[in-house]
Amino acid sequence: MCADYNPLELLVCVGSRVIEDNSTVFVGTGVPMAATMLAQKLHSPNVITIFEAGAVAPQMPGLPISVGDSRTSYKALIASTMNDVMEACQRGMVDYTFLGGAQIDMYGNLNSTMIGEDYQQPKARLPGSGGANDLASLCWRTIVITPMDNRRFVERVDFITTPGYLNGKGAREKAGLPANTGPYKVITNLCILGYDDETCRMRIESLHPGVSVEQVQDNCGFELLKAKSLEITPPPTQEELRILREEVDPDGYIIGR
Amino acid sequence: MYEDIVDLDAGIEELFCDPDPDNARAFFKNKNRGLVNKVTSVEQAVGVHINDGDYIAVGGFGHVRIPTAILMEIVRQKKRNLGMAGHTSIYDSDLLATAGCMDRCDISYVIGYEIRGLSASARRAFQSKDIRKTDWSNGALAWRFAAAAAGLSFIPSRHMLGTDTFKRSAARSITCPFTGKKFAALPALYPDVAIIHVHEADSYGNSLIKDGIMVSDPQLARAAKRVIITCERLISHDEVRANPQATTIPYWCVDAVVEVPYGSHPGNMPGEYWFDEDYFKMYLDTVKTEEGTERFYQEYIYNVKNFEDYIEKIGGVRRMIELRGIEKLIFTNKG
């Protein structure tokens, strides 16, 4: 039976499915917090979530508002420092980082710093890297979760805040970033995207129910590649939606209900 | 594409603080080592220890465990031309940037209020040329404090390289003498003043963060030339000596101690009280216009005598008890 859900609920439910039990996942602010909490309640009770302010492996009692608030360290294994958890990433202990939306290009480079050309006097100043540059540089695989439209998926980002594959295969290693790291998936409200092994360019891997390739391409400012066989994403289940609405985000901070 | 960025060997923006470890040593050589009473008032702590032009760094996480009383007093005393580490900063950097106290900032996170969205007033301030900017990442500033805490001039790291965050920083790159690999080189950051809110401190400045995350506060307290501590509760010196493992910041880093109950409002204080979401909503709505911004700063800072009056204004102890109820999972966010 087909459940009634909004695009943000779809985003969170699909995002939660990529979280594997017993993996180490460094979680950014916003949608990733809700998706991770949903995964922990549904299918990955032993996921080791890490937050940049220093909390490791909490059993979150409610949705955090901040990646540094007291819910991120509730029944955690350690409430440590930012230095400690960033160093864990740098030493290769963290499997995934899960980051929220920003401007993104075909190589998965992210902009959360500024729009415009003049750095000292930008058209629009945004928050900056936060921990995103650190996490996407140092964790093994980067998962981005973001709504998809032409303003977010652009040919060229105004500012590379956070490294994807930079300008192609081998560029990360050449720049000095740790080897064999980089973008892995982009979860959107329309589809799941991955990356082509040879070119490191973004490709469509799975279409959400009722979404066409044309519709995805129309919402993207650059040409997308396609995986050999495209899958159809299973829609959110009643169970996913119930836990999301009743237990993860009853106040509607993320899903807007 | 991006050829001008990916192969850069050095950032091009301004380095605001001297990373020379011998200059730092010369300062620390004369720092008071005595076990002396450092308890003072908010007004005195700001008046004595924060000078126009100083570079400051704030502990906590921007809206978690923040020293609100000191931040508001800096605004009230109209300190000017301050530099700031915009490290995991939210309400803290917003207050100082919006009020015109700041003229330069090492940015890793400003303007954003995480899932609540952006502050219009902070955005106006940081889009202006009146604040000189250099960008970093949160990890970079955390490690810059660690380099200073260790008495060094830089620390190698493996992020930022190949991006505009590196280009717009003052970092450089370095070849490892052992492996030949290319690393980023981050300059040590020795702030003039660190301001940190903690759960408990004794009168000498021994400070305990007893719940929640520590961010980079252990490193920051050791990196800064002067440290102002505000605490929820003063404790006796004997309590520190009874459990020395619990000390987060040793007294010799600290210059002033002020007891400020509810001192992190409207921020979360782990174990004590939750965010005041009604206040944040009011603030973010009010500062959308310049006129609203002016009204907020008059009403909540300039026309308020001190932090005790401010707490009365936001609903007093009764409101703080409600926020404690949410923190203790008795109520939901909606109270």
* Closest Cβ–Cβ partner in B111, B138, B161 for A176: B161
pLDDT mean over B15-33: 97
Portion 30-49 of A in contact with B at CB < 8 A: 30, 33
pLDDT at A149: 97
pLDDT mean over A207-219: 97
Interatomic CA distance for residues A32 and A23, integer angstroms: 15
If you average pLDDT over every residue of chain A, what do you get? 95
The answer on pLDDT for B335 being more than 50 is no
Test the A interface: residue of B90, B164, B175 with most A CBs within 10 Å = B164
Residue B256 corresponds to which amino acid?
A
Which backbone phi and psi does A149 adopt, to 5 degrees?
Answer: -160, 175
Which backbone phi and psi does B115 adopt, to 5 degrees?
Answer: -75, -5
* Closest Cβ–Cβ partner in B60, B107, B138 for A134: B138
A254: nearest CA partner in chain B: B115
pLDDT-above-70 percentage for chain A:
98
Give the DSSP letter of residue A247: I
pLDDT at A142: 98
Put simply, the answer to whether B109 touches A81 (Cβ < 8 Å) is no
| Locus of tokens 């401010």 | B310
Strand partners, A142: A97, A183
Which backbone phi and psi does A165 adopt, to 5 degrees?
Answer: -90, 15
Q: What is the pTM of this model?
A: 0.97
**Interface residue A59 vs chain B (CB under 8 A):** no
The answer on pLDDT for A257 being more than 80 is no
Model confidence at A245, pLDDT cuts 50, 70, 90, reads very high
Q: Residue B117: which domain range?
A: 2-334
Tell me: the pLDDT tens digits for B99-128?
999 999 999 999 999 989 999 999 999 999
Question: With contact defined as beta carbons under 8 Å apart, do B144 and B169 qualify?
Answer: no
**Interface residue B218 vs chain A (CB under 8 A):** yes
Put simply, the answer to whether B138 touches A129 (Cβ < 8 Å) is yes
Interatomic CA distance for residues A41 and A239, integer angstroms: 11
Put simply, the answer to whether A54 touches B162 (Cβ < 8 Å) is no
Put simply, the answer to whether B165 touches A253 (Cβ < 8 Å) is no
**Interface residue A124 vs chain B (CB under 8 A):** yes
- Within 8 A by CB and 6+ apart from B170, the residues are B11, B13, B14, B15, B16, B134, B187
Sheet with B182-187, strands from edge to edge, namely B154-157, B182-187, B172-175
pLDDT mean over A87-104: 95
Tell me: the pLDDT tens digits for A41-57?
999 999 999 999 999 99
Question: What interhelical angle do B277-286 and B290-297 show, nearest 10?
Answer: 130
**Interface residue B174 vs chain A (CB under 8 A):** no
Portion 163-202 of A in contact with B at CB < 8 A: 163, 166-167, 171-172, 174-178
Put simply, the answer to whether A29 touches B157 (Cβ < 8 Å) is no
Domain ranges in chain A are 7-248
Put simply, the answer to whether B162 touches A172 (Cβ < 8 Å) is yes
Using a 10 angstrom Cβ sphere, with 0-12 exposed, 13-18 middle and 19 or more buried, the burial of residue B305 is exposed
**Interface residue A13 vs chain B (CB under 8 A):** no
pLDDT at A42: 96
* Closest Cβ–Cβ partner in B114, B158, B183 for A66: B114
pLDDT-above-90 percentage for chain A:
93
Interatomic CA distance for residues A85 and A79, integer angstroms: 10
Tell me: the pLDDT tens digits for A165-191?
999 999 999 999 999 999 999 999 999
Closest CA to B266 of B223, B313, B211: B313
Smallest Cα distance from A198 to chain B, Å: 17
Test the B interface: residue of A60, A125, A254 with most B CBs within 10 Å = A125
What CATH number does residue B55 fall under? 3.40.1080.10
**Interface residue A154 vs chain B (CB under 8 A):** no
**Interface residue A61 vs chain B (CB under 8 A):** yes
Put simply, the answer to whether A81 touches B217 (Cβ < 8 Å) is yes
The full DSSP string for B217-281 is: HHHHHHH-SEEEEEEEEE--HHHHHH-GGG-SB-GGG-SEEEE-TTTTTTSBBTTTB---HHHHH
The answer on pLDDT for A104 being more than 60 is yes
Tell me: the pLDDT tens digits for B281-309?
999 999 999 999 999 999 999 999 999 99
**Interface residue B126 vs chain A (CB under 8 A):** yes
Q: Please, what is the Cα angle at B138 between B245 and B261, to 5 degrees?
A: 50
Q: What token pair was written down for B80?
A: 């000017």
Portion 51-80 of B in contact with A at CB < 8 A: 60-64
Question: With contact defined as beta carbons under 8 Å apart, do B208 and B125 qualify?
Answer: no
Question: With contact defined as beta carbons under 8 Å apart, do A26 and A1 qualify?
Answer: no
Residue B183 corresponds to which amino acid?
F
Closest CA to B323 of B279, B284, B283, B258: B279
Model confidence at A25, pLDDT cuts 50, 70, 90, reads very high
Closest CA to A205 of A234, A180, A225, A223: A225
Tell me: the pLDDT tens digits for A136-159?
999 999 999 999 999 999 999 999
Percentage helix, strand, coil, to 5, in chain B? 40, 20, 40
Put simply, the answer to whether A82 touches B327 (Cβ < 8 Å) is no
* Closest Cβ–Cβ partner in B88, B123, B163 for A133: B163
Smallest Cα distance from A196 to chain B, Å: 18
pLDDT at B333: 65
pLDDT at A3: 60
Tell me: the pLDDT tens digits for B76-101?
999 999 999 999 999 999 999 999 99
Interatomic CA distance for residues B83 and B329, integer angstroms: 38
Give the DSSP letter of residue B135: E
What total of structural domains would you count in chain B? 1
**Interface residue B88 vs chain A (CB under 8 A):** yes
- Beta strands A191-195 and A182-187, pairing class: antiparallel
pLDDT at B141: 98
pLDDT mean over A108-120: 97
Strand (E) or helix (H) holding A184: strand A182-187
Smallest Cα distance from B44 to chain A, Å: 30
CB atoms within 10 A of CB B324: 18
- Beta strands A191-195 and A202-207, pairing class: antiparallel
Is A20 one of the annotated active-site residues of the chain? no
pLDDT at A211: 97
A61 chain-B contacts, CB cut-off 8 A? 329
pLDDT at B232: 98
Q: Which range is least confidently modeled, A2-11, A102-111, B116-125, B246-255?
A: A2-11
Q: What token pair was written down for A61?
A: 């009692």
Question: With contact defined as beta carbons under 8 Å apart, do B137 and B165 qualify?
Answer: yes
Interatomic CA distance for residues B266 and B273, integer angstroms: 9
**Interface residue B29 vs chain A (CB under 8 A):** no
Interatomic CA distance for residues A131 and A60, integer angstroms: 21
If you average pLDDT over every residue of chain B, what do you get? 97
The answer on pLDDT for A62 being more than 90 is no
Domain A7-248 sits in CATH at: 3.40.1080.10
Q: What residue ranges in chain B does DSSP mark as E strands?
A: 55-58, 82-86, 102-107, 132-135, 154-157, 172-175, 182-187, 193-201, 207-208, 226-234, 256-259
Catalytic residue, candidates A9, A52, A205, A240: A52
Q: What token pair was written down for B118?
A: 């952006």
- Within 8 A by CB and 6+ apart from A212, the residues are none
Interatomic CA distance for residues A228 and A206, integer angstroms: 11
pLDDT at A237: 96
Test the B interface: residue of A71, A77, A83 with most B CBs within 10 Å = A83
**Cα A142 from chain centre:** 7
Give the DSSP letter of residue A234: P
Interatomic CA distance for residues B137 and B107, integer angstroms: 8
The answer on pLDDT for B133 being more than 50 is yes
Model confidence at A82, pLDDT cuts 50, 70, 90, reads very high
Give the DSSP letter of residue B112: B
Question: With contact defined as beta carbons under 8 Å apart, do A150 and A221 qualify?
Answer: yes
Put simply, the answer to whether A81 touches B214 (Cβ < 8 Å) is yes
pLDDT at A2: 52
